[in-house]
Structure 1
């Protein structure tokens, strides 16, 4: 008799052909990594044999094959109709008696331990191979209660093997439909509805930089992050200093987190629902620094066990406060790219910025806008169009392949839309907020993801250049070259170029891009006008105080540069804004003198020792001390601009960092 059900803890990576990639990985972590501190909720899985015998029992195997044989997956309407038909056949079919009995027994044993809601997840036998991403192709059902609902969800999971994207993906990647089977994982739910959840990668998703863990987080159940329904909080953690026990969070970006997914009331029509997040909660990070570093440590443990970059879904239980891992699979895009080839896209001209969001990839694309609200509009998107929508579903993959670029209102860098865009090599901007309102059909736009973390859609067709260079073909030089890097957003990308470190990193670039507020306006926040206080308050949301915001953002910018190039030297020049440039910062007009020639005016070292600016300079020194002394990024060295006669007075100030 075939084995139709198996407990997760009885499986491992040797069982991918039995329970699929996701379920095999869960079992592997339960019995291999629990002692290392990795918590994985238990449960059971149906096997590939159960799925295949289910199809045979209902005489669906040949019926499905015959329908797919005549399908042209490039015909999106035919693809949708074929997929819908097959899925309905599967959902309407009864379980074979042996499978029904096995599910009954396994579920009863699970509930005997502790009555709880479960998640029913898909796990394909060809899924999550290191060079193939099945992200989001199959279904997940949350807060499933009672045996009848579990059985219904298992059938829905079986049927999801024939979602539109899954069918199309298998065809284009050369998988034979009948050779891919599905396992349903029935796993205890983590109470993240009252906590938080998200996704983390053990590699930078945009550059492939391997020494960071990239974490996204939002309130409630994790599907909102995975689906791209929210703009989540983001964190970068540096692995080498994490290992040393030093503070290791390099970057924090506060997401809007406008909604969260929670359990629906029992008399409701669905198991989960989305609700608005309060303004107070939106304006703070949903997990603290201790959680971020704990998650990063777990991610590194998992990565070391599997020996490759990983894509991991996590959840924080709001009841017990513990962190749990609910999925782990190989990262399948950046880890497969050659580091020996440098690809660059460069805008040759500028235009009016129409919309901004989080950039996915480093490419540029232009085309006519095609706004799509529903799946049944997919046929309207023509090759070379710029697809604009609220958020994408994995089933949209067949039409995403046609697009020159993708723009969405919602979503973060770890959602399915972002993963698919990277996989297809298409520039995408996610989390724009109101792109579907600000752009209009047939409008020509140029979508640039080549300018750092922020992606921009420009008006019109702008000229751009595509360069491809082989590192191996570059001639050896008789001298070392240090780089000028002003934008921390590009540090992980630029570090892959041949270099001997950073010869100049201007602090004013960090202040301008990441802070945007005059330091005096933050030091004297209560003295600002009401309008200025409101503008500043929006900027500093998530940070303990205005001054903490300034120092923390300086630390984030400097430490990102230092970590990207470590152990190579990074020379950071203290701020050297001219008075008119300081005046353009928020709140700066009341603190800066009017000078006829600011180039030769109140700037550099002379400014640092002035009584009117010394407290601002102290904040810069505080940030540099933290990077070097606490974060242990000792490759940072300091440059004082326009010092001359003032150098000795600057270095004698009590706030000056001592270079040990």
Structure 2
């Protein structure tokens, strides 16, 4: 598959070995979908769409101009911040050209008709073994309607050029000028409770970790809401400890986006998962 073969591919139809075009996040979702796991419907937008956009609009040349004012290694942080702001403004103010928009819409509009989605980054090398871009690129929750989805795709593309992303690529010695962004658009599941599970704890390989919150998972992953945390023995599944935070807030859907709201007393006084549910997870 090449960049021009298909700009937008449903995750279940994405073949193996396409991480160089669709990024690690899209590749992982596709692998799960092909394996028969229950994965909310997702469409993967290749780097081909990004490259066509920056070439057709002239943004690529403007990016190179910004980055060639001074060697990246010699830029002070404030100079990098200024360059980043100018680059991201280009994305924020430049519409997707009509021909590219029509090609993307041909898949996205019928695929997500009437559904709210999450628009997620899937940068090339985002989840590589020698680098983790977790939290550096943007994702947007509770987006609906074709126009809004495409606007948020541009915002994800723009996040490739945040000052944090530039600084991290500089530290890793990556070729910043060759960076490109793939995107995952995925149906949103409006969960009353959300969480993250680690089959192997980052701290102890004999333990698994489960974290959960009331409301949407965004509150957990961005640090807005402190989660309940369970540590389990990986061999027996026995719960070894349970950290219980002060449960006060939850991130919930709100129009186009999300907001933070107070937890009612009946929820704040109990963990988001029962002991039986923790064991099932």
> If the length of structure 1 is used for normalisation, what is the TM-score?
0.40
The aligned counterpart of 2:105 is 104
1:199 maps to what in 2?
196
Q: What is the aligned counterpart of 1:260 among 250, 259, 264?
A: 250
The 3 A distance-change label for structure 1 pair 97 and 68 is same
- How far apart, in 2, do the equivalents of 1:132 and 1:13 lie? 21
2:267 is matched with 281
Counterparts of 1:576-595 in structure 2 under 5 Å? none
Query: Secondary structure at the residue paired with 2:137?
Result: coil
1:72–1:78 CA contact under 8 A, matched in 2: no
Superposed counterparts of 1:52-91, under 5 Å:
52-69=51-68, 70=70, 71=72, 75-91=76-92
| Structure-1 residue corresponding to 2:206 | 211
Find the partner of 2:26 among 3, 23, 33. Answer: 23
Provide the rounded CA distance (Å) in 2 between the counterparts of 1:198 and 1:226: 9
Please show how residues 133-148 of structure 1 align to structure 2 within 5 Å: 133-148=132-147
Distance in 1 between residues matched to 2:279 and 2:28, nearest whole Å:
23
Q: Which runs of 5+ in 1 are unaligned?
A: 243-247, 296-660
Spell out, residue by residue over 1:543-595, the C-alpha distance to the aligned partner (whole angstroms, 9 max, x if none).
Answer: xxxxxxxxxxxxxxxxxxxxxxxxxxxxxxxxxxxxxxxxxxxxxxxxxxxxx
Q: Distance in 1 between matches of 2:239 and 2:17?
A: 35
The offset of 1:272, in angstroms, is 1.2
Which of 209, 217, 223 is 1:222 aligned to? Answer: 217
Q: Deviations over 1:600-656 (max 9, x none)?
A: xxxxxxxxxxxxxxxxxxxxxxxxxxxxxxxxxxxxxxxxxxxxxxxxxxxxxxxxx
How far apart in 1 are the matches of 2:5 and 2:54?
14
For 1:24 and 1:108, the matched residues in 2 are separated by 22
Secondary structure of the 1:14 match is coil
Counterparts of 1:430-445 in structure 2, within 5 Å, are none
Task: Check conservation: 1:51, 1:183, Cα contact below 8 A.
Answer: yes
Q: Is the 8 A contact 2:26 2:44 kept in 1?
A: yes
Aligned residue number for residue 127 of structure 1: 126
2:197 partner SS: strand
Deviation string for 1:284-305 (max 9, x for gaps)? 111122322232xxxxxxxxxx
Task: Give distance in 2, aligned partners of 1:7 and 1:250.
Answer: 40
Query: What is the alpha-carbon distance in structure 2 between the residues aligned to residue 164 and residue 279 of structure 1?
Result: 41
Distance in 2, matches of 1:203 and 1:56, equals: 43
> Structure 2 length normalisation: TM-score?
0.92
Q: Which residue of 2 aligns with 1:656?
A: none
1:232 to 227, 238, 248: 227
The CA RMSD measured in Å over matched residues stands at 1.8
Distance 1:41 1:102 in 2: 23
What are structure 2's unaligned runs of at least 5 residues? none
The CA deviation string for residues 274-319 of structure 1, in whole angstroms up to 9 with x for no partner, is 1011233222111122322232xxxxxxxxxxxxxxxxxxxxxxxx
Q: In structure 2, what is the equivalent of residue 185 of structure 1?
A: 184
Matched residues in 2 for 1:232 and 1:98: separation? Answer: 45
- 1:598 aligned residue: none
Q: Could you list the per-position Cα deviations for residues 333-387 of structure 1 after superposition, in whole angstroms to 9, with x for gaps in the alignment?
A: xxxxxxxxxxxxxxxxxxxxxxxxxxxxxxxxxxxxxxxxxxxxxxxxxxxxxxx
Cα deviation for residue 218 of structure 1 reads: 0.7
Max Rg structure:
1
Cα distance between partner residues in 2 of 1:26 and 1:292: 23
Residues 486-526 of structure 1 show CA distances to partners (whole Å, capped at 9, x for unaligned) of: xxxxxxxxxxxxxxxxxxxxxxxxxxxxxxxxxxxxxxxxx
Mapped pair 1:294 → 2:273: no
**Total equivalences in the alignment:** 276
